[in-house]
């Protein structure tokens, strides 16, 4: 049985155009979670890593599929040394490596993703893709590996024996990082300090949600979230703060 403090409200609906059911974490999507990178984020290492300002970039990004990797390869070609602190170390494909199981992952430099610019870099601290995309007037999510723009959202899909698809849209939890996630000193959706936004998550992360589920399904999610059928369940972290 789940702990009472971990309970979330879920909404469900069927897609009339597909043999598919959607289950949506209404508690998280209605919450005022906001990324606090550079504003108190403690990172995902075993100890408090606030000073490193690495956020969740301490580990190389894994690629979901070939399309994801191909997209990032195009983005890398657009990066200039002014955007990317480790441009010299990463050129000629050296930014990409393979793990023992054959998975493609971004290389690491000084204990963080090779595309992470350290504090003090004149081109700007943080993700080189984010910096370059912003300069170009484009969406950073279109430059980054999929996992980097999806977190802290997570889409999980299961196909039942008869072919019916069940899709979950929820917050990214420690367990989603595998066994190592439980060793994180800190995780953002576990801390009330990250629930400081002025907009609900479904508005704050609109582009990300549309990319994950499509415009039609996003519109349906918004409709359900804004219907006044019951008293919304506050996020567990907001409960603790109060």
Domain spans, the chain: 1-52+151-242, 57-148
Strand partners, 97: 105
Distance CA 204, CA 29 (A): 9
Question: What separation in angstroms does the CA of 133 have from each of 79, 128, 136, 150, 234?
Answer: 9, 8, 5, 17, 34
* Higher pLDDT pick, 46 / 232: 46
Buried b (16+ CB within 10 A) or exposed e, 206-234: eebbebbbeeebbebbbebbeeeeeeebe
Query: Is pLDDT above 70 for 219?
Result: yes
Q: What is the DSSP letter of 61?
A: P
**Exposed / middle / buried, residue 48 (Cβ in 10 Å: 0-12, 13-18, 19+):** exposed
26-42 mean pLDDT: 96
Strand (E) or helix (H) holding 171: strand 165-171
Average pLDDT over residues 47-52: 95
Residue 63: pLDDT band by 50, 70, 90 thresholds?
A: very high
Average pLDDT for 198-217 = 97
Kindly report the number of other CB atoms within 10 A of residue 58's CB atom: 17
Tokens of 233: 């369940």
Asked if residue 106 lies in contact with residue 113, where contact means CB atoms within 8 angstroms, the answer is yes
Structure token digits, residue 130: 């984010």
Residue 25: name the closest of 9, 3, 1 by CA: 9
- From 73-77, 98-102, 178-182, the region with the lowest mean pLDDT: 178-182
From the list 78, 48, 44, 47, the residue with the least C-alpha distance to 61 is 44
Q: Please, which pLDDT band fits residue 4 given cuts at 50, 70 and 90?
A: very low
Q: What is the pLDDT of residue 227?
A: 87
Instruction: With a cut of 50, say whether residue 24 has pLDDT above it.
Output: yes
The mean pLDDT of 13-22, rounded to a whole number, is 92
Average pLDDT over residues 216-239: 81
Q: What pLDDT was estimated at residue 233? A: 67
Q: What is the pLDDT of residue 7?
A: 84
Mean pLDDT computed over 111-124:
96
What tokens appear for 79 in the block?
């990066």
pLDDT category of residue 5 using cuts at 50, 70 and 90: low
What is the pLDDT of the chain when averaged over all its residues?
92
When pLDDT is averaged across residues 89-103 and rounded to a whole number, the result is: 94
pLDDT in tens, 136-189: 999 999 999 999 999 999 999 999 999 999 999 999 999 998 888 899 999 999
Residue 1: what pLDDT?
Answer: 35
Residue 241: its pLDDT value, please? Answer: 58
């Amino acid at each position: 049985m789940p702990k009472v403090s971990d309970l979330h409200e879920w909404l469900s609906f069927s897609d009339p155009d597909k043999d598919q059911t959607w289950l949506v974490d209404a508690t998280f999507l209605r919450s005022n979670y906001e990324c606090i990178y550079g504003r108190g984020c403690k990172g995902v290492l075993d100890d408090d890593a606030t000073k490193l300002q690495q956020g969740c970039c301490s580990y190389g990004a894994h690629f979901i599929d070939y399309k994801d990797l191909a997209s990032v390869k195009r983005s890398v070609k657009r990066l200039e040394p002014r955007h990317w602190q480790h441009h010299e170390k990463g050129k000629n494909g050296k930014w990409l490596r393979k793990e023992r199981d054959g998975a493609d992952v971004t290389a690491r430099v000084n204990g963080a993703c090779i595309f992470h610019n350290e504090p003090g870099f004149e081109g700007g601290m943080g993700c080189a893709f984010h910096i370059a995309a912003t300069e170009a007037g484009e969406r950073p999510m279109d430059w980054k590996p999929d996992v980097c723009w999806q977190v802290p959202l997570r889409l999980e899909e299961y196909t039942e024996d008869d072919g019916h698809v069940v899709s979950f849209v929820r917050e990214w939890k420690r367990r989603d990082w595998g066994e190592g996630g439980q060793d994180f000193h800190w995780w953002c959706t576990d801390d009330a300090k990250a629930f400081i936004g002025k907009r609900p998550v479904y508005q704050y992360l609109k582009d990300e949600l549309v990319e994950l589920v499509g415009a039609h399904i996003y519109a349906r999610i918004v409709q359900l979230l804004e219907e006044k059928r019951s008293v919304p369940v506050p996020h567990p972290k907001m409960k603790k703060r109060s």
